[in-house]
Amino acid sequence: MLHLITELSKYTMIILFALYTYQCFSALKRSVDKEEQAEKYRSQVVYMYLFHLNAYAVLYLSMDKNLEVLKFYLMQVAFFAVVQVCYSIFYRRVSRLVVNNMCMLMCIGFVMLTRLSYDHAMKQFQIAVVSMALTMLIPFFISRFKYLKSLTWLYALAGITMLGVVAVLGAVSHGAKLSFTVAGIAVQPSEFIKIIFVFFVASMFYESTEFIQVVKATVIAGLHVIILVLSKDLGAGLIFFIAYMVMLYVATRKLYYFFGGLFCGAVASVIAYYLFNHVRVRVVAWQDPLAVFEREGNQVANSLFAIGTGGWFGMGLNQGMPNKIPEVKQDFIFSAVAEELGGIFAICLILVCVSCFLMFLNIAMQMKDSFYKLVALGLGTIYGFQILLSVGGDIKFIPSTGVTLPLVSYGGSSLLSTLIIFAIIQGLYLLRERTETEQAPERKKKKKTGSKSSSSKKKSSVRKGGAASHEENIHGTKIEDFD
Amino acid sequence: MKKIFTERKLKTSTKRSKNREFVIITYLFVGAFIMMMGYFAYFQIFRSEDFINSPYNTRQNTFAEHVVRGEIRSSDGKTLAQTIVEEDGSETRYYPYGSMFAHAVGYDCNGKSGIESFGNFSLLRSHAFFLEQVFHGIQDKKNQGDNVVTTLDYRLQETAYNALGGNRGAVVALEPSTGKIFAMVSKPDFDPNTIGAEWDNIISNTDSENSILVNRVTQGLYPPGSTFKILTTLEYLREHPDYQDYSYECTGNIAMENTEIHCYANAVHGAENLETSFAKSCNTSYANIGLGLNKKKFADLCNDMLFHTDLPISYPSNQSSFVLKESSNTDQVTQMAIGQGETLVTPLHMALITSAIANDGILMRPYVIDHTENYKGIPVKNYKSSTYGSLLTKEEAQKLQGFMSKVVSEGTGSKLSGQSYQAAGKTGSAEFSNNKEESHAWFTGYASTEEKGSIVVTVIVENGGAGSTAAVPIAKQVFDTYFSR
């Protein structure tokens, strides 16, 4: 009977998540008006709760009907409800899609972690509650505090000091000095410094994009990357590097910086390959994991066994063997999802992450102030690139770099830092809303005095800037910006 | 007015381009995401089977908790392996024909081999009728797994198995136009029904000659002897458009730097052209031919002919090998030309070369699983035959077909002449030790009729003596069985 329920649930969960994913993109259509959009976002919440219920029903039945699992489920329901309610009371103007995606990704994370290790799932949940409470204030601060863009050198100082301290003192884990322990909690500073780093680069280029400024910024950015590489955190080093290159290119609009930087990056990668054994190990495992199964290829091969055996529809929750993959809770959670929930579900998971990324870049394009534009761009790049590294490594698209899948993987630092990023983005959505309401009356005045020839153009921008615009316009303009 | 116009133009252009870089970055990332999802789909569709069926993958065994392992069947409806469920629910894997299909079907105990290994995923999946599965699910009963229907032909396997008798060696038969493997016999063998009980005994016996778990068809490496002259001839044809003018006077031996090459059984063949040299398998004439060949081109030809290459087959296989460099001396070159020296091939490899020749140059990928079906016989998945590639041109293939026909009509394969079918092939007697009296007997060839098409058979009898007397009769029995229907 249990087997039957698990088998049927495979399909119902895929359908629910596919419907959810469909709404992520169908709501972006230009023809969708505000009410329809709100309706779609409400339906997403319903799909999420149904998926959540379905998943925990299977988990409850397959985990010896443990009442703890039911209690845990109810706590999560309460948690998601509180998050949803808080955002709709305090931050009415934020992007509902980003809120939904944030909850959905955490929801998938809780389901998978409960299946992999109940204790870890519980710990992750506790961290999520605390992190959510802390980050709930961030959108407010971001939208009010204007001096963030003038703390340039403070960011640099904080970032380099923290990274340096970790490199020197940090505990050695997996051949990389990544974390230190504060009050029993292992903190991985690079997860937070990447956010500070984005603020640093954004404020540098906000001040100026003159050559001398670029040199200064590059030196500091290079210092970050070098410390990360020396402490063997190559995944993080790569993320910092790409974030910097993207921000540099967009701020200066000079393609040769971009390609020059990428070329240097390529050369550095080759040097790293010959210099560091643990880089070579990853490449060897990527080339042919089965040939070196006993040693280097074990992790990637196990990941591919999981994904392959799961197929398009998955083995069913609790029916696979994801725990055979080393580090499955952190770096290889995507493989566990693909194995048990299926390839279709996994593709949808990528699409939901893509939808988050698009919302990050969307707000970057919407902002008027170049500082905030660059912040949103930098955070979006970090988020998007981390998805590529994590999923790409799991499926052998690229060599594995040991990067977590944000919001889904186990890990306190990863979860908190991603929630901070999401909260900052929400803050920008609020900020955009505020500045546009402030500017709207001014523009109306201008329109009256302005020349007739340009009036039609202005009219459209006024409509866009109107206080009531909200999300409809976000998407409307986004598509316009794409041409 | 003009001023306003330019101002406006300026404004719109700056507005248009304001987010240009953001858009580029967005597209770059979205492109990367799409490529990644594309790779995921590619992996699931084309690459996942390699990983699913890997012996390291222990996952599929969890399917056994809910599924009774399916049957393996021959193409003519015989059950080759089945799982018998006792009253108390205990399961035994039963092989009705014992050791006859040992290497082809494999075993499922202390690991897996053969079809039991690479067909494992299908055998442990159930496509039983949906409602029946629901019904079983409610009762917590196992579903019946899918059956794997092979291309193996019971009658041909039986014939080949009996014909090889008590000899060590291998027989493989396949259809050149499709790549379907009809028979695959390797001896010495084992009984998969009792392999569990005998396991310790088997693996402690490290005697390489008797290693019974080795599938000699795909893993056995033997000197090819005169069967290799097929490739020497092909290289000669390529280098000499006037090959018909070739002539040689065989005196029974030819002296090289350090060695002397003899014709088999010290025969003296007298005046020959290329065709008679091939038909009579004249070693001295081929040593003479080998000396004139371009070493680089000859090595390239062999590499194109699947030497130093993994054969396209699901069974574990070994790569055939040869050594021929610019620096090779005349001894090495002439040994190579007659299939001795350091050259080693697997019987399947010889069969594939023959298959390409019989199929006008096109090699079809050999395969042994025809389709899978649910236990009621409703098809689940069909495996279609597919082209591996073109190994030689149609003209070259047809010339070699002519040469190989002559072997049967006038040469060492004469036992195959005058049948209801047209046979062609090449014999070989490959020396494998310093004792010149001992040799492995080879035959590789094909036979065809208008209505039944053609079949390739490759035979090796270890230490069997001459190919024409030890290997050809085995091939003949297989041909006879195939065309007798």
Residue B307, CA distances (Å) to A268, B228, B295 in order? 39, 12, 15
**3-state SS, residue A149:** helix
**pLDDT tens for each residue of B216-230:** 999 999 999 999 999
Residue B67 CB-density burial (10 A; 0-12 exposed, 13-18 middle, 19+ buried): buried
Mean of pLDDT values over A44-73:
94
**3-state SS, residue A276:** coil
DSSP strand E in B245-342: where?
Answer: 248-250, 253-255, 260-262, 270-272
Distant-in-sequence, close-in-space partners of B241: CB < 8 Å, separation ≥ 6: none
The answer to whether B374 and B147 have CB atoms below 8 angstroms apart is yes
Q: Does the CB of A118 have a partner CB in chain B at under 8 Å?
A: no
Give the pLDDT confidence score for residue A231 in this predicted structure.
79
Distant-in-sequence, close-in-space partners of B366: CB < 8 Å, separation ≥ 6: B174, B179, B180, B181, B311, B312, B313, B348, B351, B352, B355
Contacts across the A-B interface (CB distance below 8 Å): 137
Outline where B20-79 has alpha helix (H): 20-42, 48-52
Q: Does the CB of A319 have a partner CB in chain B at under 8 Å?
A: yes
Instruction: Give me the residue label for tokens 């706590």.
Output: A75
Q: Does the CB of B135 have a partner CB in chain A at under 8 Å?
A: no
Q: Which helix (H) or strand (E) holds A180?
A: strand A176-182
Instruction: Give me the residue label for tokens 């494992």.
Output: B120
ipTM: 0.89
Dist. CA B389–CA B456, nearest whole Å = 18
Contacts of A482 in chain B (CB under 8 A): 23, 26
- Angle CA B289–B292–B294, to nearest 5: 120
How does DSSP assign B342-407, residue by residue?
T-BB-HHHHHHHHHHHHTTTEEEPPB-EEEEE-TTS-EEEE----EEEESS-HHHHHHHHHHHHHH
Residue B41 to residue A347, Cβ atoms within 8 A: yes
Dist. CA B344–CA A452, nearest whole Å = 89
Residue A381 to residue B4, Cβ atoms within 8 A: no
Measuring CA to CA, which residue among B68, B106, B84, B57 is closest to residue B368?
Answer: B106
**pLDDT tens for each residue of B142-191:** 889 999 999 999 999 999 999 999 999 999 999 999 999 999 999 999 99
In the predicted structure, residue A460 carries a pLDDT above the cut 60: no
For β-strands A176-182 and B67-68, DSSP reports them as unpaired
In the predicted structure, residue A171 carries a pLDDT above the cut 70: no
**3-state SS, residue A446:** helix
Residue B58 to residue A324, Cβ atoms within 8 A: yes
Confidence of residue B330 (pLDDT cuts 50, 70, 90): confident
Confidence of residue A469 (pLDDT cuts 50, 70, 90): very low
Measuring CA to CA, which residue among B367, B342, B349, B274 is closest to residue B304?
Answer: B349
Residue A451 to residue B4, Cβ atoms within 8 A: yes
Q: How many CA atoms lie within 13 A of A475 on its CB side?
A: 18
Phi first, then psi: what are they for B173, rounded to 5°? -130, 135
In 3-state terms chain B splits into helix, strand, coil percentages (rounded to 5) of 45, 20, 35
Confidence of residue A439 (pLDDT cuts 50, 70, 90): low
Look up the pTM and report it: 0.76
Which residues, in sequence order, are bridge partners of residue B68?
A: B144
**pLDDT tens for each residue of A231-284:** 778 889 899 999 999 999 999 988 888 889 889 989 988 988 888 887 888 898
The answer to whether A395 and A336 have CB atoms below 8 angstroms apart is no
In the predicted structure, residue A180 carries a pLDDT above the cut 60: yes
**pLDDT tens for each residue of B81-103:** 999 998 888 899 999 999 999 99
Of chain A, the end-to-end C-alpha distance in Å amounts to: 54
Candidate from B145-149, B245-249, B356-360 with smallest mean pLDDT: B245-249
Mean of pLDDT values over B474-479:
95
Mean of pLDDT values over A42-63:
95
Higher pLDDT residue, A233 or B287? B287
In the predicted structure, residue B483 carries a pLDDT above the cut 80: yes
- Describe the strand order of the beta sheet including B379-382 as a list of residue ranges: B91-94, B79-85, B72-73, B147-150, B369-373, B379-382
Task: Give chain A's mean pLDDT.
Answer: 85
Residues 20 through 59 of chain B touching chain A, CB cutoff 8 Å: 20-23, 25-26, 29-30, 32-33, 35-37, 39-41, 43-44, 47-52, 54, 56-59
CA A324, A330, A335, A340 dihedral sign is: positive
In the predicted structure, residue A34 carries a pLDDT above the cut 70: yes
Which of B2, B8, B56, B143 is the best residue to mutate to test the A interface, defined by the most A CB atoms within 10 Å of its own CB? B56
Which of A11, A58, A349, A361 is the best residue to mutate to test the B interface, defined by the most B CB atoms within 10 Å of its own CB? A361
What angle separates helix B130-139 from helix A2-26, to the nearest 10 degrees? Answer: 120
Candidate from A162-166, A319-323, A479-483, B453-457 with smallest mean pLDDT: A479-483
Peptide bond into B379 cis (omega under 30): no
Confidence of residue A474 (pLDDT cuts 50, 70, 90): very low
Confidence of residue B206 (pLDDT cuts 50, 70, 90): low
B8 CA: distance to closest CA in chain A (Å): 7
Give the pLDDT confidence score for residue A177 in this predicted structure.
53
Instruction: Give me the residue label for tokens 């901070």.
Output: A420
Residue A309 to residue B59, Cβ atoms within 8 A: yes
DSSP strand E in A20-77: where?
Answer: none
For residue B411, give both structure tokens.
């040469």
Residue B36 to residue A391, Cβ atoms within 8 A: yes
How does DSSP assign B425-461, residue by residue?
EEEEEE--SS-TT--EEEEEEEEEETTTEEEEEEEEE
Cβ atoms within 10 A of the Cβ of A132, count?
21
Higher pLDDT residue, A472 or A402? A402
Measuring CA to CA, which residue among B331, B441, B406, B48 is closest to residue A312?
Answer: B48
Give the pLDDT confidence score for residue A378 in this predicted structure.
96
For residue A81, give both structure tokens.
């409800």
Higher pLDDT residue, A431 or A113? A113
Amino acid at A334: F
Determine the residue of chain A that is closest to B120 in CA distance: A309
Mean of pLDDT values over B301-313:
93
How does DSSP assign B180-211, residue by residue?
BEEEEEEES---TTTHHHHHHHHHH---TTT-
**3-state SS, residue B84:** strand
Residue A3 to residue B43, Cβ atoms within 8 A: no
Confidence of residue B267 (pLDDT cuts 50, 70, 90): confident
- Rounded to 10 degrees, the C-alpha dihedral B97/B103/B104/B106 comes to 80
Mean of pLDDT values over B275-292:
90
Confidence of residue A450 (pLDDT cuts 50, 70, 90): very low
Mean of pLDDT values over B42-57:
85
For residue B287, give both structure tokens.
């040593």
Amino acid at B140: D
The answer to whether A373 and A432 have CB atoms below 8 angstroms apart is no
Residue B59 to residue A391, Cβ atoms within 8 A: no
Contacts of A320 in chain B (CB under 8 A): 59, 62
Give the pLDDT confidence score for residue B207 in this predicted structure.
66
Cβ atoms within 10 A of the Cβ of A9, count?
23
In the predicted structure, residue A396 carries a pLDDT above the cut 80: yes
In the predicted structure, residue A173 carries a pLDDT above the cut 60: no
Q: Does the CB of A243 have a partner CB in chain B at under 8 Å?
A: no
In the predicted structure, residue A156 carries a pLDDT above the cut 50: yes
Dist. CA B402–CA B357, nearest whole Å = 10
Give the pLDDT confidence score for residue A179 in this predicted structure.
64
How does DSSP assign B97-130, residue by residue?
TGGGGHHHH--BSSSB-HHHHHTHHHHT-----H
Dist. CA A63–CA B416, nearest whole Å = 68
Confidence of residue B448 (pLDDT cuts 50, 70, 90): very high
The answer to whether A84 and A99 have CB atoms below 8 angstroms apart is yes
Dist. CA A85–CA B337, nearest whole Å = 84
Which residues, in sequence order, are bridge partners of residue B453?
A: B449
Which of A258, A305, A400 is the best residue to mutate to test the B interface, defined by the most B CB atoms within 10 Å of its own CB? A305
Give the pLDDT confidence score for residue B121 in this predicted structure.
86
Residue A358 CB-density burial (10 A; 0-12 exposed, 13-18 middle, 19+ buried): buried
Residue B163, CA distances (Å) to B79, B170, B185, B430 in order? 22, 11, 10, 20
Candidate from A95-99, A449-453, B353-357 with smallest mean pLDDT: A449-453
